[in-house]
Amino acid sequence: MLRKMISAAAFALVLAAGTQAHAGGGKAKISVVFDQKLPNVPGKSMRGVLVEYAPGGSSPGHTHPASAFIYATVLEGAITSKVNDGPEKVYKAGESFPEFPGDHHSVSKNASKTKPARLLAVFVLDTDETELTIDDK
């Protein structure tokens, strides 16, 4: 039991370090707010990631693990997003959008230069994934 708790704590630290490293590429603060194994889907977990943008803040273009399906909901402000070859779209508080496995998220930024924005991204992915975001090179 103790070994399992230590493993879970170490995994949480690796996960948090990876998301904070991603935040260094822009003005986004990224925090894992929950991580739950799905009891009825062996090998899969659901993770919630809070993304907070300062006024004018952004994240670099990126992808996610091949196993990840993401559903993002804007909690505050407005977010400009572009996935794959789709158009840039502004999502306001209460609006949501999906990202499917293999999608490229080329634009993710606060639509306002004066107000903060926040979104919650809920991931369903392989439990053993440690890197949630892979920045463009």
To the nearest whole percent, how much of the chain has pLDDT over 70? Answer: 81
C-alpha 106/C-alpha 59 separation (Å) is: 9
CATH code (residue 62): 2.60.120.10
Classify residue 93 by burial, with Cβ atoms within 10 Å: 0-12, 13-18, 19+.
middle
Q: How many structural domains comprise the chain?
A: 1
Average pLDDT over residues 24-40: 85
Q: Place 68 in a pLDDT band, splitting at 50, 70 and 90.
A: very high
Residue 27: predicted pLDDT: 75
Q: What is the pTM of this model?
A: 0.79
Strand partners, 36: 46
Evaluate whether residue 11 is within a structural domain: no
C-alpha 59/C-alpha 8 separation (Å) is: 28
Average pLDDT value over all residues in the chain: 85
Residue 65: predicted pLDDT: 93
Is residue 44 within 8 A of residue 126, CB to CB? The reply is yes
Evaluate whether residue 4 is within a structural domain: no
Per-residue model confidence as pLDDT tens digits over 75-87: 999 999 999 999 9
Evaluate whether residue 133 is within a structural domain: no
Residue 6: predicted pLDDT: 39
Residue 89's domain spans which residues?
27-127
Evaluate whether residue 44 is within a structural domain: yes
Evaluate whether residue 120 is within a structural domain: yes
Per-residue model confidence as pLDDT tens digits over 88-108: 999 999 999 999 999 999 999
Evaluate whether residue 70 is within a structural domain: yes
Evaluate whether residue 97 is within a structural domain: yes
Evaluate whether residue 33 is within a structural domain: yes
pLDDT of 132 higher than 70: yes
Strands 78-83 and 28-37, sheet pairing: unpaired
